[in-house]
Every structure is written in C-alpha cells, then in structure tokens.
Amino acid sequence: MNWSRSKGGPGHDPFKKRFRPGEDLVVWFLLAMASLAIVVSATIIYTLVDGSYDFFTDSRVNIFDFFTGSDWMPNGMDPKFGILPLVQGTILIAGGALLIGGPLGIAAAVYLSEFAHRRVRMVAKPVLEILAGIPSIVYGFFALLVISPFLREYFDADYFNAAAAIIVMAVMVLPIIVSVSDDSMKAVPKHMREASIAMGATKWETATRVVMPAASSGIMASVLLGLARAIGETMVVALAAGSVAKGGWDIFGEHMTMTSYIAQVATGDIPPGLGVQAAFAVGLVLFAMTYMVNSLAARIVLRIKMGKRPARDNMMTRAVNRLKLLSRFKLRASEFMTDVTDRFKRDRKEPRLLFRHMNERVGKVVLATSLVLAVTFLAFLLYSIFTQGYKGLSWEFLTNPLSWKPEKAGIKVVIQGSVYLVLLTMVFTLPVGVGAAVYLNEFAKETWFNVFLRRVIQNLAGVPSIVFGLVGLMVFVRTFHFGLSLLSGSLTLSIMVLPVIIVTSEEALRSVPQTFREAARGLGATKWQTVWHHVLPNAVPGILTGTILSLSRAIGETAPILFIASFYSKVAPRSVLDGFVALPINIFYWTKNPSHEFQDLAATTIIVLLAILLSMNALAIFIRQRAQSRRQW
Amino acid sequence: MFKNNICKFTILPSGDIMEGKIKNLFVGAALFLVLAVGGIVAGCIDSDEKPTLIQTGSSTVLPLGAAWAEEFDGANIQVSGGGSSHGLNSLLKGEADLGDASRLMKGSDYEAVGGDKTLVKSDGTATGAAPGGVWPYKWVVAYDVLATVVNNQNTWATNLNYSQLYKIFTDDDPAVYWDEVPGLSGAPHEKIEIYAPDEASGTYDYFFESIIKDWGKATQVAKTRLESNDGVYHPSADDNVILNAIKANKYAIGYFGFAYLIENPGQVKAVNIAKSGTSYVEPSLATVATYPMARPLHIYTNGLPKKDTAKGKAIYEYIEYILSDEGQAIVPEVGYVKLALVNPSLASDQLSKLHSG
C-alpha cells in the first residue's frame, strides 16, 4: 500500500526507480487532455472538408469555377460561386490594413526598442495592450458609426465601405506587429549596437542599418502575423464593409470578404441551401490561407528562437559588412561633400555631421509620431464611444430585461448570458488546459508526437474565430444535438480559448525554477509528486492570471457564437440547454439596427463590456502582483 | 496518507509557506466557484417556473417575434433568426416550438427532413405529419407591406404597374432613361438611379418575387439589375440610407418596408402600384387589402396547440395573445400591418379554430 515508505527507508538502494501505482495513469490522462487539441484540429478540418465536399459535389457547382470565377451570387435562380470577389475583398481590406499598420507598427517598434525612454515604454506598452484587448466588435462599431460617417462626408464613400474597415483594422494589427518586432529587435545582441556606435554611426544609423536588418526576419514574421489576423477578422468587415461581392479595388465602395460571407450565413441573411453550404468551402479557403501565413510566420519566429539562422557569427559578419558599406558610402559622401563645401568655402565636416544629426532627429520624430497616432486613436475611440453611450448608462439599463423599445431596453439578461457563458467556458477549459500544459511542460519528451502536438496547438491558436463558429454549429448544435444553447456556445468558445490557456499555463509552469524540481526529485519525490506539490502550487498565480486574461478575450468574442446566440430572450438561461443572449452579440444587433436609439444603446453596452474587461484585467494584475510580492524566489 | 509522507520528504525551507499558499489559492478558487454557482442558483430562484419556448426562423418576423415574446407573460420565449427555411426545418425536426416564415411552407421543406413532399398543399398546409411526427399548423400573424418610393419632385412616375417595374428593376432590356419606360407621360430624358435594399434582405427577395416570374426557380425569366451589375442599382442594408438618397436625387427610385414610410412622412413620395393595367392602389393602411405588394407573415406550430401539457398551454396562450387585439396592437409599432386591415375576420377565424382545438 504505502510503497514509498516501506521501500524508501534508510539503507534502501537509492538508485532503484521510485514507483507509485497510478502515476503512469495520471500521465496518460494528462496526455489525453493534451491530445484533445489534436482532436479539435482534426474536427475543424473534417467539418470544413465534409461541408465543402457536399458543396463541390452539387451539380450546380463546378470546383474549377469556384477558384477562378469572378461572380459571387449565392442566391437566385442561377447561383454563381466564383470566390475571387471574396478573396479580392479580403486582400483589399487586409492588405490595406497592413499597408498602413505595417509601417506604423514597425516604426513604433523601432522607436520603443532603440530610442524610447523607459517612461515612454511604460505608457506605450499598456496602450498597445489595451488596443489588443479591445474586442473586435467594438472596433466594428467604431468603424461603422464613427469612421464611416466621416468618410461619407468628405470622400463621398458608400454607407458601407472598405476604407473604414481598413483604417480600423490597421490599428487592430498594430499591437502584434509592435510586440513581435520589438522582441526581435531586442534580441539583437548589444555588442552589435556598440560596434556600430564605436565606428561612428549615429543611433539612427545604428537602428536603421544594423539593428533593423539583423532583426529583419522577426519584423517580417510580425507583419505576417498581423496579416493573418487581418485576414481572419470578421466583425469589423461584417459591420462596416458591406455585403456586396462585386470585386474591384474601390476602397470607398462596398466589399465582401470571406469572413463576412460566413457571418452573413450565420445571421441567417443567406437562405438555406447551396449558399449556406458554400460557407464551408469559403471557410476551408480562409482556413488554408491563414494557416499558410501563420505557419510561415511561426517558422521564422522559431528560427529566431532556436538561433539556428541567422547564426550569431553570421549576423555579426553581415553587420560588419554593412558597416563597411556604410563607411565606404560615407567616405564617398564626404568626398562629395568636400567638393560641395569647397565650392561654398565652408567648413568640411560640420554640415555633414549636422545633416546626419538632423536625420536622426527627424527620424525620431517620425517614429514617435506613429506611437502618438496609436495613443490618439485609442483616446478618440474611447472618447467617441463614451460620449455616445454614457447617457444611456443607468441602473435601469443594467437591471431591465431586453426590449424592442429602446427606452425600456436593459441588458440584465445579456450580462447574465455572457457571465454564464464564460464561467462554463472556464469550467471546461481550465482542467483540460492545465492538464495539457502540465503534460507538455513536465512530462513530454522530445518525441515526434510531442513536437507535432505543439505545432497543432500553435496552429489552433491561429484559426480565425468565425471558423470556430462554423465548427461549433456543425459539431455541438447539429451532431451532438445540444441545439442553440448555452452548452453549445460555451463549448465553442472553449475549443477556441483552449490553446491560449495551454500556452499561458505552460509559461506559468516554466517560470517555476528548475531547482525546485531537482530538489524534490533529489529527495525522492516521484515526478508526479513533484509536479503536484511543488510545481503546480507555485504556478497557480500565473495560471490564474493567464486564464482570466483568456476568458476576458472570450467574453468579448462575437464571431464564434454568432451562429448560436439568440436575438431575444426574456430571461437568463436556467439550464445549460437553454438559449442565451450575450453582450457582444447584442452590441452587433444593436449596431446594425438603423434606429439611432439602439445604436446609442450599443455604445452603452460597449461601455459595460469594457468595464467588465477592465475589472477582469485588474483582477489578473492583482493576482500577479500579490503572487510576485509573496514569492520567495 | 501520502500527504503525510510527502511532508516528511519535503524539507525545502519554504515548505510550510507553500502549503499555506496552496490552501489560500484553493480557497480563493473555491470561493470564486461558489460565487459563480451561487450566481447561477440565484438566477434560478429569481426566475419563475414558466416553460421555455423556442421560436426561430424568418428574419422578417424576427423583430415582431421579439416584441411579442417580450410582451407575452405566459412563457420564456427564446427568439432567433436564420431564415424561413431554417425556421420550418427546426420545427419539423422538433428543435423549435414555433417556426417563423415569411413564405408558405413548401414540399421542399418536407423533403429536407426526409418527408413526402406531396403531403404539402399549395396553401402552405400539410395533409400529414413529417417523419419526426411533427405536423405543422399555419398561423397568419401579420402582413408585410412593401412601398415603392420616388423623389417628391417626381411627377411622372406616381403610378406604376408590375411590367413598368419590371422594365426599371430587371436586366431584361432595362430602361436607362426615364423616358424609356413605356406609358409614363412627361418622363424626362434623365438617367434612372435605383436605391434599394441589398441581396441579403428579405425585402429584396419579396420585391423581385413579385415582379419577376418564377423568381428563385430554374425558369426565372430575368435577373435583377443588382445581379447584372450595371451600376444603376445602389444596394444598401440601411433603409435610412435609401431614404436619404432618394430624397436627394430627383431621378431616383427605390423601395422599402411600408412602416419605414409611415415613420418618415412627407420625405419621399409613395408610388401607387397595379399588378397589371391601370388599377393603381396607393399603399396605405386603408387600402392594404387590395394593394398588391403585401404578404402574410406566418408562424407554424406543431399541430393545433393543446392545453394538456405546460408547454402546449404556453404555445396555445401565445398564439391566442398574438391574434388578440392586444397582440395585434404591437404590429404597426414594429413596422408591419395588422391582420384586421387586410381581412377583418382573419384574426377571429383563426382564434375560433384555436379555441375549437
């Protein structure tokens, strides 16, 4: 019974393998939890392929025309399914967003990494985090009701137009571009900067000609990650960009993207039939596109992390060559300048240096401007939502049930729906996510299977949220017959946040010093005892923080539950099989409502949603701070 | 037992502290869960024991359904959209208690659940149950009326019949200038501009279903000008955009729900419509019975509701409420037309059927 005592007494052979019955079972159990990620991925692919198969085998559909056709008319007597207009809309909007957000993000990252004072970082980082944490439905509201009227007024844009979506999405991709670029530039060894400065380059020249080229692959990866995010974004385009798939490149006209088509199907705007089936084929193409972009980015990031290429020496030689080139260029420039200055009979060196320093100053201003823009945008967004919504904020609004009359409408039921949804999601994901993380971080060896598992989890995190919506509909609502219920909704959200919870829990486990494990093992604890009694307890604050943060993402997600949530419900769900209404969904319907009273209520609901997010984040920060202050290591 | 053991093995100095910490955190987590569960339980206690009904289907009926569901006290009704076919499909599969439809049930709805399509008659009722045992019963609950509108300065197109609308709105030899539309006296040689709902809207479907023969079938005779993409048809999902565009453009024409016209009186001119010839009817509450572009909205239930179960009783009372004066009073507020304006006895006929069981 008590193996460890009877065999572990003094004089016992210390090299004999310690064994407790059931420990293997626990590990297998954890492995099973981690493998759920593979099951989820396989289900996603199966659902999309199965739905697409039904679509492509229909007599009215020709797979060749699907990929090459330029007419998208899913309704009517003679439906046409040529995906090109949707792809074009996606490329126009995502590409446009990248064209603005990319340079802005890189500039901000260079500034933060190379020039910014610590205090500037202290302001900029939270601003970027807030921008990243604002749910996309809020950006959609902002695009349709704030940016779009402006564009209509001054650029004669259509009511729905691509430009509003592009502008807002440019800001949405900023945080990821800045943080990944910033990280990769910070990873450039310090001595390269020192060498550059020592050779007489200014800080500006060091940043742009030494650090940026050395970090170029990381910067590239950041842009790719931003692109994947923009391609997969649903709510902004569904609200602001319109529903006409006519193609063309007119940024002030209406465009439909792949994601907004699926969203249209989700809200029932496409009559059942072939048009709905087409959503799976579109989803498959969308999935494939984001998968490719994401895995390309992941490969680059992995390469940087592993330090395989650009190897340090390699990086060094390249930098030295670049500096040589630079100095040669400078030499030539100085010769030229000598000519010029001789002609003007002026001092030789001063203007050159002056020029270079001016360059630095101007450059710094340009870089800093990008940050200022981001901060201004955030301020403007919050300001316009607050001014539109604060009037509606009252106790009645928070405690009244939903209503078709704006003056009577309240969001009590909606808040309850969202809270239940997220609590259920936590109940589902927390054990599985932590179990998977424990397996991956504590027990997994570098076998092909575990490498594969990690890749699957990483890829799962990059799947567009609307695709989860399609999968949730087919699997939980239809196959499992859970119906349009709280259970279906929370399971759909669960499979979406699972990879995030796994990754953050793993980070928390990794932050527990290795010496703890060694000490416990050295004293004879088994692996599982070590994990259960020493690693997990110390990782709990980190796990909780990560979980709360991912749940705060889940509560703002609209696209995955667009298929499942109800339009109206009188009371909060009383069982997990009841239907539900949720905050982001309600914001979506009220924003779409042509009546201004409802649009104002949407703004008020956004204020409530943001307040909930803020308090969740504050709780996470509080837990982290408390844990850090009590930490003994 | 193990635990004691481990404590002996654990001689890390911070051991006790860590144990304390685990306790703290677990207590915290437990507290959180208790609060959460408590919240749910409190939610349960605070709500009553009314049955839950699921109503789903046509997005045209959706706002009306939500309004009725709110005002009706006998049940907790979940309302969602998804389209008429989705509504009928859910009802036939037994997933929904009430199926909203802005069209009549068709044989294809039975086929979709593996049923015999010949059981469905052309009036949208069925002579037998579908495979799952559901036998849909049709209730007409309100009318949706569509208004065709032009600019207030338009003096030439105040009366239009279906063939003129066909000439203006479809790709079958479409009129580019107003004077190309046959039968309009004094029409200027100015380009026609169309501002109207987009393909995603039910109004669009309804409009073209009226003017294009065999709309949605393989034999459909023409396409819409939005589909032919000749730049004349400016689609929008927002009625307000359509209204403003027509208000601003003397040569514009468009259409939207009649209720929106009532909400914005005097801003644009409503066109009198005739199915054929010149028997034009003005869209108004008084003339809705003879106005051609008016369609009934339906709710389907599983058979005639019976009061023998709690759920059946709730459905019975809900339908009774919808057909009552009180329920009908909401209809114009949401933007549709009351049954009584089209057919004074329609509500009472259906009520007596309900009561006869």
Cα nearest neighbour of B73 on chain A: A570
pLDDT in tens, A433-442: 999 999 999 9
Hey, is the C-beta of A15 within 8 angstroms of any chain B C-beta? Answer: no
pLDDT at position A310 is: 47
**CA dist., res. A528 & res. B324, Å (int):** 68
A627 vs A605, more confident: A605
Average pLDDT estimate for A88-108: 95
Contacts of A267 in chain B (CB under 8 A): 59, 81
pLDDT at position B194 is: 94
Tokens describing residue A346: 């002026």
Q: What share of chain B is helix, strand, coil (3-state, %, to 5)?
A: 40, 20, 40
Tokens describing residue A511: 């932050």
pLDDT at position A13 is: 55
Contact B334 A269 (CB under 8 A): no
Tell whether the model's pLDDT for residue A455 goes beyond 80: yes
Q: What percent of chain B has pLDDT over 90?
A: 37
User: For residue A573, is it left (φ>0), alpha (ψ between -120 and 50) or beta?
Assistant: beta
Contact B223 A244 (CB under 8 A): no
Which candidate from B47, B76, B95 shows the least CB-CB separation from A483?
A: B95
R_g over Cα of chain B: 28
pLDDT in tens, A255-265: 999 999 999 88
Contacts of B21 in chain A (CB under 8 A): 537-538, 540, 630
- Residues counted in chain A: 633
pLDDT at position B46 is: 47
Helices (H), chain B: 2-9, 15-46, 62-71, 84-92, 107-112, 162-169, 202-211, 225-228, 239-248, 258-263, 310-323, 325-334, 339-342, 346-356
pLDDT in tens, A108-138: 999 999 999 899 988 898 899 899 999 999 9
CA A470 to mean position of chain CA atoms: 19
**CA dist., res. A616 & res. B128, Å (int):** 55
Contacts of A480 in chain B (CB under 8 A): none
Closest-CA distance, A76 to chain B, in angstroms, reads 5
State the DSSP H helix or E strand holding residue B294, giving kind and residue range, or none if neither: strand B294-302
Rounded to 5 degrees, φ, ψ at B234 are -100, 105
Tell whether the model's pLDDT for residue A268 goes beyond 90: no
Closest-CA distance, A99 to chain B, in angstroms, reads 28
Average pLDDT estimate for A358-372: 90
The pTM of this model reads 0.82
pLDDT at position A390 is: 93
Tokens describing residue B38: 């408590």
CA nearest to B63, candidates B79, B78, B74: B79
Closest-CA distance, A482 to chain B, in angstroms, reads 10
Rounded to 5 degrees, φ, ψ at A581 are -115, 150
**Disruptive mutation site among B78, B111, B321 for chain A (greatest number of A CBs within 10 Å):** B78
Closest-CA distance, A503 to chain B, in angstroms, reads 20
Rounded to 5 degrees, φ, ψ at B299 are -125, 130
Hey, is the C-beta of A108 within 8 angstroms of any chain B C-beta? Answer: no
pLDDT in tens, B315-349: 999 999 999 999 999 998 887 888 888 888 999 99
Cα nearest neighbour of B7 on chain A: A533
Range in A97-101, A591-595, B13-17, B334-338 the model is least confident about? B13-17
- Kindly tell me the burial class for residue A19, based on how many C-beta atoms sit within 10 Å of its own C-beta (0-12, 13-18, 19 or more): exposed
**Disruptive mutation site among B1, B3, B4, B6 for chain A (greatest number of A CBs within 10 Å):** B6
**CA dist., res. B292 & res. A377, Å (int):** 51
**CA dist., res. B228 & res. B169, Å (int):** 10
Cα nearest neighbour of A565 on chain B: B80
Cα nearest neighbour of A632 on chain B: B14
Whether A497 and A551 have beta carbons less than 8 Å apart is answered as: yes
A96 vs B261, more confident: A96
**CA dist., res. A83 & res. A71, Å (int):** 7
**With a CB-CB cutoff of 8 Å, which residues 397-426 of chain A face chain B?**
401-404, 416, 419-420, 423
Helices (H), A111-257: 118-133, 136-142, 148-155, 162-186, 190-198, 203-206, 212-214, 216-232, 235-240
pLDDT at position B321 is: 96
Tell whether the model's pLDDT for residue A594 goes beyond 90: no
Tell whether the model's pLDDT for residue B44 goes beyond 50: no
**With a CB-CB cutoff of 8 Å, which residues 575-604 of chain A face chain B?**
578-579, 592, 594
Contacts of B66 in chain A (CB under 8 A): 402, 404, 567-568
Closest-CA distance, A159 to chain B, in angstroms, reads 7
pLDDT at position B13 is: 37
Q: Widest CA span of chain A, in angstroms?
A: 98
Tokens describing residue A553: 């993402």
Tell whether the model's pLDDT for residue A489 goes beyond 60: yes
Distances from the Cα of B75 to the Cαs of B42, B69, B119, B157, B318, in angstroms?
A: 20, 8, 32, 49, 8
Cα nearest neighbour of B13 on chain A: A632
Which candidate from B40, B65, B82 shows the least CB-CB separation from A420?
A: B40
State the DSSP H helix or E strand holding residue A89, giving kind and residue range, or none if neither: helix A84-110
Q: What percent of chain B has pLDDT over 70?
A: 85
Contact A571 B47 (CB under 8 A): yes
Cα nearest neighbour of A158 on chain B: B236
pLDDT at position A483 is: 83
Tell whether the model's pLDDT for residue A423 goes beyond 90: yes
Contacts of B9 in chain A (CB under 8 A): 4, 520, 523-525, 529
Tell whether the model's pLDDT for residue B37 goes beyond 80: no
Tokens describing residue A90: 């996606």
Helices (H), A345-447: 349-389, 395-399, 412-438
Contact B85 A483 (CB under 8 A): no
**With a CB-CB cutoff of 8 Å, which residues 159-188 of chain A face chain B?**
159-160
pLDDT in tens, B61-92: 888 999 999 999 889 898 987 778 788 888 99
Whether B162 and B148 have beta carbons less than 8 Å apart is answered as: no
pLDDT at position B24 is: 57
Tell whether the model's pLDDT for residue A335 goes beyond 70: no
Cα nearest neighbour of B20 on chain A: A537
Whether A135 and A606 have beta carbons less than 8 Å apart is answered as: no
Contact B12 A519 (CB under 8 A): yes
Cα nearest neighbour of B57 on chain A: A268
Hey, CA dihedral for A342, A345, A350, A355, is it positive or negative? negative
First to last CA, chain A: 36
Give chain A's mean pLDDT: 87
Residues 6+ apart with CB under 8 A from B79: A566, A567, A568, A569, B55, B56, B62, B65, B66, B69
Beta strands B193-197 and B233-236 are parallel
Look up tokens 């900029």; give the residue: A124
Contacts of B39 in chain A (CB under 8 A): 419, 423
Q: What share of chain A is helix, strand, coil (3-state, %, to 5)?
A: 75, 0, 25
Contact B66 A254 (CB under 8 A): no
**Disruptive mutation site among A72, A544, A569, A628 for chain B (greatest number of B CBs within 10 Å):** A569
Contacts of A60 in chain B (CB under 8 A): none
Contact A568 B65 (CB under 8 A): yes
Closest-CA distance, B144 to chain A, in angstroms, reads 18
Residue B290 pLDDT class (50, 70, 90 cuts): confident
Give chain B's mean pLDDT: 82
Interface pTM (ipTM) of the complex? 0.73
| One-letter identity of residue A548 | I
Query: Would you tell me how many other CB atoms lie within 10 Å of the CB of residue A350?
Result: 10
Whether A175 and A273 have beta carbons less than 8 Å apart is answered as: no
pLDDT at position B83 is: 75
Residue A8 pLDDT class (50, 70, 90 cuts): very low
B249 vs B228, more confident: B249
Which candidate from A519, A541, A574 shows the least CB-CB separation from B44?
A: A574
Tokens describing residue B355: 């009561």
**CA dist., res. A565 & res. A582, Å (int):** 7
CA nearest to B315, candidates B98, B73, B78: B98
Contact B18 A534 (CB under 8 A): yes
Contact B18 A567 (CB under 8 A): no
Cα nearest neighbour of B10 on chain A: A520
pLDDT in tens, A237-254: 999 998 778 788 889 988
State the DSSP H helix or E strand holding residue B193, giving kind and residue range, or none if neither: strand B193-197
pLDDT in tens, B85-104: 788 888 998 889 999 988 88
The most confident of A85-99, A209-223, A611-625, by mean pLDDT: A85-99
Average pLDDT estimate for B158-166: 93
